[in-house]
Structure 1
Amino acid sequence: MKRLLALVRELGAGWAVLYLLHRLFAAQSLPVSLYAYRLVRQPVPDRASLGAARRARFSCRLLEPQDPMLAATFIDEEILDYRFSQGAQCYGLFKEDRLIAWLWLVKGAYEEDEVRARFLLAPDCVWDFDVYIHPDHRLGFAFAALWDAVNEDLHRHSIRWTISRISAFNAASLRSHARMGATPCGGLVFLSFGPVQLMLGSRRPFMHLGLRRGHGPEIHFSSH
């Protein structure tokens, strides 16, 4: 009971119920799954959060599709191909020539790989996903240095917002985004049974039923 109450305090009653269903379905042998996401919008600042001396400890650059440093991400080659085929970009953060963090961005539209959904973005928005910091650097300045470098590039290209989906069950990630100025902009729940997928959400189309593989909702994001 204490664990349940702690879960409710951390996630809220509604998301806690969905988390328990998610765990229940994951433990079954049936082809049933439930995913719940919080959508957040984060402004692109016009100034760095770290001082110049701390930023100088790191370097950041885009990792191209054939970059050998991609091997250090341990991301499956098929997934890499899928991301780059969408036009996604991977920003890598280095310290003493060692890749210690990365962040993926895509413009225009993002095809979700965990559920069937397509997120359509306004010209001054980008979708960010798969932000990773090496465990040895999670208590340092790597996270801030990575975002400072990415935001500098985005600001130069007149991008005002980054948008992302976060698991509604990942309270730590939600808190870290909030500290960076991210604000909620919706929630989505996907329930799948075999090829059938039901989406319920707080953004248009609000509800979508896909009866076959490859059939999912399109969710629009404006800059307002």
Structure 2
Amino acid sequence: MSLIRKLASYLSSATGRYYLMRRALALIGIRRFRYLLVAQPVPPHPLLTRPPSGLKIRAIGPEEYQSGWFPRPTSIIDFRYRQGAICWVAFSKEQPVGCLWIVPGPYQEDEVHCRFIPYPVGRVAWDFDVYVAEDMRLTRTFVLLWDTANAWLREHGFQWTASRIDTLNERSWRAHAAMGARQVGEAIFWRLGQHQISYGVGGLHYCILGRSLPEIIVDVDAEAR
């Protein structure tokens, strides 16, 4: 299939139409985000029986993290650490090639204005920004990052990790689904300047940024209920 035919096929799909709608709204100053809320079980054992040689994973604290490692603003990294987030970084020959973040409790988003609350408390952590460098995406970096994070989660009594995935990021959803993740909800946000309307678990919420903060509970047992 030619590139033009692939592009036409994508734009005619539901995902493609949503992408075009989001771009059109952005032109008039409206930002729209639609997230899948997912829950992923913490497996009882490592996924890899033999870690790959030459690849090391370390938990990196704020004093050691270097802003040039990944395409993330320093202000955002500082914001994450202030919330108690833990960052695991994968190194190949001493070069950082991937990262994975976990918060063992509620997480205030940096892309939209809200706080996600993984529930039940103490059983569910929050994961975000799982990143692997382009030239390492066909290696076992992704799995080794998760093995390392899962070992920490098991040690601290967590049985699940929850997260949000942009509906345009199909690659991320497939990766999580391959590890047993399932959708437990959805959240939609509209932003215009300092005004935000959100809809998700808990209903509709309007706020002016900086004055109130909607909270969205991500309940891993919601589907069963």
Q: Give the alignment's TM-score, normalised by structure 2.
A: 0.86
Q: 1:5 to 1:99 in 2, by over 3 A?
A: closer
In 2, Cα distance between the equivalents of 1:75 and 1:210?
Answer: 26
Deviates more, 1:134-143 or 1:214-223: 214-223
Per-residue Cα deviation, 1:15-74 (whole angstroms, up to 9, x for no partner): 554432211122x2x43211111111000001111122x345432121011105554224
> What are the residue-to-residue correspondences of 1:50-199 with 2, within 5 Å?
50-52=48-50, 54-69=51-66, 71-121=68-118, 122-199=121-198
In 1, Cα distance between the equivalents of 2:211 and 2:109?
Answer: 11
Q: 1:39 to 1:8 in 2, by over 3 A?
A: farther
Q: CA deviation at 1:134?
A: 1.4
Aligned to 2:32: 34
Q: CA deviation at 1:86?
A: 0.8
Q: CA deviation at 1:172?
A: 1.4
Instruction: Give the SS at the match of 1:114.
Output: coil
Instruction: Note if contact 1:111-1:119 (Cα within 8 Å) is conserved in structure 2.
Output: yes
| 5+ residue gaps, structure 2 | none
In 1, Cα distance between the equivalents of 2:22 and 2:171?
Answer: 18
In 2, Cα distance between the equivalents of 1:192 and 1:76?
Answer: 21
In 2, Cα distance between the equivalents of 1:16 and 1:216?
Answer: 31
Amino acid at match of 1:126: A
Q: 1:17 to 1:217 in 2, by over 3 A?
A: farther
Q: Where has structure 1 moved over 4 Å in runs of 4 or more? A: 1-5
Instruction: Give the SS at the match of 1:22.
Output: helix
Amino acid at match of 2:180: G
Q: 1:188 to 1:16 in 2, by over 3 A?
A: farther
Q: 1:157 to 1:21 in 2, by over 3 A?
A: same
Instruction: Give the SS at the match of 1:140.
Output: coil
Q: 1:20 to 1:200 in 2, by over 3 A?
A: farther
Q: 1:173 to 1:199 in 2, by over 3 A?
A: same
Q: 1:136 to 1:16 in 2, by over 3 A?
A: closer
- Alignment root-mean-square deviation, CA: 2.1
Aligned residues: 215
Q: 1:161 to 1:8 in 2, by over 3 A?
A: farther
- Structure with the higher fraction of residues in helix conformation: 1
Identity %: 34
In 2, Cα distance between the equivalents of 1:69 and 1:48?
Answer: 28
Per-residue Cα deviation, 1:76-101 (whole angstroms, up to 9, x for no partner): 22111111111111011122322211
Instruction: Note if contact 2:125-2:158 (Cα within 8 Å) is conserved in structure 1.
Output: yes
| 5+ residue gaps, structure 1 | none
Instruction: Give the SS at the match of 2:110.
Output: coil
Aligned to 1:6: 10
